[in-house]
Every structure is written in C-alpha cells, then in structure tokens.
Structure 1
Amino acid sequence: MDEPGGAERLTRELDWNLLRSFVVLAQSRSITDAAERLRLTQPSVSTALKRLEERVGKKLVDRAPGRFALTPAGEVLYREAVEIHGAIYRLSTLMRDMTDEVTGHVRLALASHVVCPLFDRVLAEFHADHPRATLSISVQRSVAALASVAARSASMAVCLVHRRDPKLEYLRLYREHFGLFCGPPHPLFGHEGLTQADLAGHAAVSFETDRLHDALRPVTMLRAQSELNEHFAGTSSHLEEVRRMVVAGMGIGPLPLHVVARDVAEGLLWRLPPHDAPPAIDVHLVWNPKAALNRAEQSFLDRLRARIAATPIEARTYG
C-alpha cells in the first residue's frame, strides 16, 4: 500500500465485505466470537482477516494464546471502517426517503429499562404526528448502544455514558437516584431501624458496570461504603435481571428508586439504608452528528432535544 499508486489500487481492489467483517471482528472477543456473530465458520473469518491484511499491507490483529487485540494499524482501520460501514448501511434508507413523505424508520438503542416520562411523551407525540413512520427499540448494554450510534446502525441511543467519544453528541435526558434493596427471602427484609453498618458482609448482586472506573461509579462507592461482600453473587447488564436476583434473595443490590417504587409498595423489595443523599446517575441522549438522518429520525431527534431544552433538570430528576 506504500508504493506509488497504492491508494488508488486499494480503492479499486478492496472488497467492502472485508471491512464489514473487520468491524464485527474488532468488536468481538475472538475469531470464534466474530464467526458466531457473522454466522460464518471460524476459518472463513480467519481467511477474510488475512485477505484484508494483505490488501492494506499491515498486521491488523495481534493474536496469541489468551490475547486478542487490535494493532495500532487495526485501530486506525477500525475507526475508518465504522464510518464507511455506517454510510453504506444507511444508503437504502436515504434513497427511499427521497420519495417518501415523513415515513422512514427510527432505530433506537436503549439501555435496559429506561423509565422516563418525558421520553414517553415525545414517543407518543411523534407517532401521532407521523403515523406512517416506524420505529424499533433495541435494548443493549450502554457500551454497545454507543457503538451502534458510532457505527450509524442506530439513529440515536439513550444510555449511560462513561467515556465520551468526541465524534458523538451528548445531552442529559434525565437523572435517576439509586438505593440498595433486598428481597423477601433476605434476612434483612422488613426490618425497621437498620443502619448502614447492618449491611456489612452481606452478599451483593449488581450491574456489570458497577465498577470504580465505569459509569456506575457512585453506586460502586455506595456499595463499598456499606461494606457489602466484594464478590458478587450475581451480575447482569439488564436492570430486570438484577431486580430478579434481588427479589430472589441472592443478595443486596442497587436499583433506581423510581423504577422499583411499585415493587416496594407491593412488598417485593425492601429499601435498605442509607436513605439520605442517594447516588445520582445521569442517562444521556446520544447521536452521531455526521450521520445522514432520514426525515423521521431528524424529526424524532429534534422533538426530543427541544423537549429536553424546555424542561428544567429538576423535572427530569426521578427518585
């Protein structure tokens, strides 16, 4: 690729399907994982990687026993391939939208169990004004939702944000407060007058992002201050499954106060101390400013941004 005319030769000879496979490979944990996601055999994926490396003249993936990581050249190619893949992915939608009215399809990537009345109102208004537009909601881990927006395979995301990608735009949608809870089988369930010290040593269940270096850091600090057992009895990336484990008595777990208020009222969950100054977590609306949105996507994004701007954060704070 370094010889004269190499760039021109690359644009002429490069198979775009190789780039698509590479994007999936870069987002996977191994060749085997990528093969399952692409519904191909492992040798086919390895061959595709080898062909791509030959085309660009660089080693793209560093593979060794117990190690699978992109090389510096692989990181550069991945960033560019995501842009190319997203643009190609959206071509058919954009072409169709040139002749349609405000129809189009809106692809939303949401973190698990987003409970936000403001968002629901915008959804209802959008459908009322554009009944021919369609919408799909994919529930994903926040990191996967952000990757979908970066790759332009999702119109926008509503999720937690830890590290900000400078290529994306962020707007706080709402703030939720977390508390610690236990279920009916737990020995602390139903006990009044408990203090935070009473939680020490008890088993914990939580989210996969409940780590000091991740989006739920305030929740991690709360759990540490309560001196819960540092080894989780169970984890999940989905709120519903963390709730399931808490209700089942597997351990004490953090949950958003407004999301589980009905469970508390119905006796499925018991809130534990501390009750003052519950940790706050922000949930963001994220979109890609370089994405060429169809009219339905643009309308939905504009409506949501306008409603956020017109609503004080106090009215978008729950729990």
Structure 2
Amino acid sequence: MTQQRDLDKLGNQLDWNLLRTFMVIVQEGSITAAAGRLFLTQPAVSLALKRLEAQLGRQLVERGPGRFRITEAGETIYREIVDIYGTISRFGILVREIREEISGHVRILMTSRIQTVILDRVLKAFHERHPKVTFRIDVIPSTEVHVALQQKIGTLGICLMREPIPGLASEVLIHQTYRLYCGREHRFFGQTGLELADLQREDFVSFTTDQIDGTLSPLAVFRAREGFAGRIVGASANLEEVRRMIVCGLGIGPLPEHIAARDVADGELWELPPPEGVAPVHIHLIWNPQAKVNRAEKAFIEALRAEVADVPVELRLPV
C-alpha cells in the first residue's frame, strides 16, 4: 500500500527539468554532448540523471568506461517525455490561439537556400486571404528539422529527406537536380569536351551530409559509382559555404542547378560533366500528423499540398 501511494505521488513530484535533461541525453548519446547542448557542466547533467533515476526507482542508462546504453525502462520513459515535451513547447501558441480566436501562428522549419516559386506563391496568397496569421521561418539543418517535427516543435518542415521518417508525413515539394561545378581559378574552368574520367582524381568540395547514410546520399552514391578518388578538401552543412569553397577554387563540387545558374551566367562557376547532372535530390514538405495544430497551421499545410497536388513530381521545379 505504501509503494502504491508513493507511485501515485510520483507525477506530482517529478521535476520537468530532469525529464528534459534525460531527453537530451538520449538524443545526444552521451552525458558530455548533452551538457554542451544544454550549456551545463557534465557533473550537473550526471547529477540530474541520477536524481531522475532515484525518483523513478529505475536505471535509465547503463554507463561506464566505453559503455553507454539506454535501458528498456529508459526507452519507455524517453518516448513519453518526447510526446509530453512537444505538447508543453507548443502550449503558449495554443493559449494565444484561444485568445486571438481566428488568428494564428505558423512556424516553418527550413533548410538553407530554399528557392521555389511554389512556396513564394502560397505565402503571398495565404497572407492576402488571412492577414492576421503570423509566420516564423527558422533556417536549420535538415536532420534538426526531422527531430523538431518528431518532438512536435514547429508546424512543418521544408528540407531534404533521405527516406521515410517514422511518425512524419511528407510530400515532394521541389524537384531539383545537382550538377558538378568548378570556380574560375580551377584548371577546368572554361574547358569543353571534358569527360567524367577527367574528374575522377580532382579534389572535391561537398556537403557534410554527402554520405551513404546522409540526407544527400545520392551524391555519395554517384562518387562511389563513378570511381571518384580525389580528396574531400572542404565540407559544410551550409549550401552557401559549399558554393564559396567551389568559387574560391578549393575543388570541384555539387550544387543545385537553379542555385548555381546565376554564378554560371556571371562567370563565377563552370558546369562540368555529366550533362544530365549528378542526381535528383528532392526537397520535401514534412509535417507531424499527430501534432496539435491551430486552424492557420492546418490551412497552410493544406494550401501547400494543394499547390502541387496535380503537378507531376518531375515538374515541381524551383522556378
């Protein structure tokens, strides 16, 4: 009976800061990384984990020299915390929506340098129809967009996606093609008649997600398939920085065709083979069907989906 009374009190006694700390520990995969993300010291994060385990009476993480594993109890608690945290993080928006009645707020999480008339057209038309709706657009890496939407933070994401993500729905918004380019300082600039074989040993600049298990895996597959053996001399998660390194002559590298078009016209970049491009890399509209959304959020997602509903994927072009 005493144990049952203790369990009944647990919900009222839990410290939500401890729960959030544990959530970050799981997401980061280590105490040290979690401390960095939370701007806390490592001992403070370790103490928070011990306090939570003491309150729950369960070991949540098995840790030791070279060992870090989330227990079954930890996995169960983590899933519940993610759901609770998503609801709490959006509580202020829901309260404001009640107060403002028909007005609402739409938060869009977007990867860098998204250029598309599709989004521009929908934003313009939506604002004209619903002038009281407010928007916030945050530019973050695609992988962070995925995590944020799983946690029910933000209305929707516009970003890269390598494969379906559990719990999230998606729609191809933009069909884009990546091509290889070099800057004017590179020895290939201005040369015609080049073949793929001419590029195989050149130094390469690319994205940090240009890996087999990354969001830009088609680029990694292309390099492996075509036998590219040059060094990767520069990498960034930011498209503008990848472009900068190519323009400055560090090496050849991939960019979306529509992003590079202006630089090609201005004589800053030179298009390299193959003529059909390296790979199609789609930009997706992503949202969480389980998230609580206001009327403005629901209407905006529906407006974006309606804009491309009757357009074949290959014709959903950036411009």
Is TM (by shorter chain) over 0.5? yes
Q: Distance in 2 between matches of 1:70 and 1:246?
A: 42
Other-structure match for 1:303: 303
Identity %: 45
Other-structure match for 2:18: 18
SS in 1 for 2:176: strand
Other-structure match for 2:38: 38
Q: Distance in 1 between matches of 2:219 and 2:235?
A: 14
SS in 2 for 1:98: helix
- Judged with a 3 Å threshold, the aligned counterparts in structure 2 of structure 1 residues 272 and 73 are, in CA distance, closer, same or farther, namely farther
- Judged with a 3 Å threshold, the aligned counterparts in structure 2 of structure 1 residues 240 and 83 are, in CA distance, closer, same or farther, namely same
Matches within 5 A, 1:169-188: 169-188=169-188
AA at the equivalent of 2:118: L
Contact 1:203/1:228, CA 8 A, preserved across alignment: no
AA at the equivalent of 2:25: L
The CA deviation string for residues 152-185 of structure 1, in whole angstroms up to 9 with x for no partner, is: 1111111111242331111111211111111112
SS in 2 for 1:166: coil
When the two structures are aligned, how many residues end up with a matched partner? 317
Matches within 5 A, 1:22-101: 22-28=22-28, 30-65=30-65, 68-101=68-101
AA at the equivalent of 1:40: L
AA at the equivalent of 2:181: F
Other-structure match for 2:287: 287
Shift of 1:271: 0.9
Other-structure match for 1:262: 262
- Segments of structure 1 that go 5 or more residues without pairing to the other structure are none
- Judged with a 3 Å threshold, the aligned counterparts in structure 2 of structure 1 residues 69 and 156 are, in CA distance, closer, same or farther, namely farther
Other-structure match for 1:251: 251
- Judged with a 3 Å threshold, the aligned counterparts in structure 2 of structure 1 residues 11 and 102 are, in CA distance, closer, same or farther, namely same
Contact 2:111/2:159, CA 8 A, preserved across alignment: yes
- Judged with a 3 Å threshold, the aligned counterparts in structure 2 of structure 1 residues 222 and 71 are, in CA distance, closer, same or farther, namely same
Contact 2:189/2:270, CA 8 A, preserved across alignment: yes
Q: Distance in 2 between matches of 1:315 and 1:102?
A: 35
Q: Distance in 2 between matches of 1:109 and 1:216?
A: 18
- Judged with a 3 Å threshold, the aligned counterparts in structure 2 of structure 1 residues 217 and 57 are, in CA distance, closer, same or farther, namely same
Shift of 1:131: 2.5
Other-structure match for 2:155: 155
Contact 1:199/1:226, CA 8 A, preserved across alignment: no
Other-structure match for 1:193: 193
- Judged with a 3 Å threshold, the aligned counterparts in structure 2 of structure 1 residues 189 and 135 are, in CA distance, closer, same or farther, namely same
The CA deviation string for residues 80-134 of structure 1, in whole angstroms up to 9 with x for no partner, is: 2111001011112112211314332211111221122101111112222222322
Shift of 1:193: 1.0
Contact 1:182/1:251, CA 8 A, preserved across alignment: yes
SS in 1 for 2:153: coil
AA at the equivalent of 2:295: R
- Judged with a 3 Å threshold, the aligned counterparts in structure 2 of structure 1 residues 253 and 85 are, in CA distance, closer, same or farther, namely same
- Segments of structure 2 that go 5 or more residues without pairing to the other structure are none
Matches within 5 A, 1:101-112: 101-112=101-112
Other-structure match for 1:115: 115
AA at the equivalent of 1:185: E
TM (norm. structure 1) is 0.91
Q: Distance in 2 between matches of 1:43 and 1:163?
A: 37
Other-structure match for 1:235: 235
Contact 1:182/1:247, CA 8 A, preserved across alignment: yes
Contact 1:186/1:251, CA 8 A, preserved across alignment: yes
Q: Distance in 2 between matches of 1:167 and 1:50?
A: 30
Contact 1:177/1:318, CA 8 A, preserved across alignment: no
TM (norm. structure 2) is 0.91
Over the aligned positions, Cα root-mean-square deviation in angstroms equals 2.2
AA at the equivalent of 1:139: V
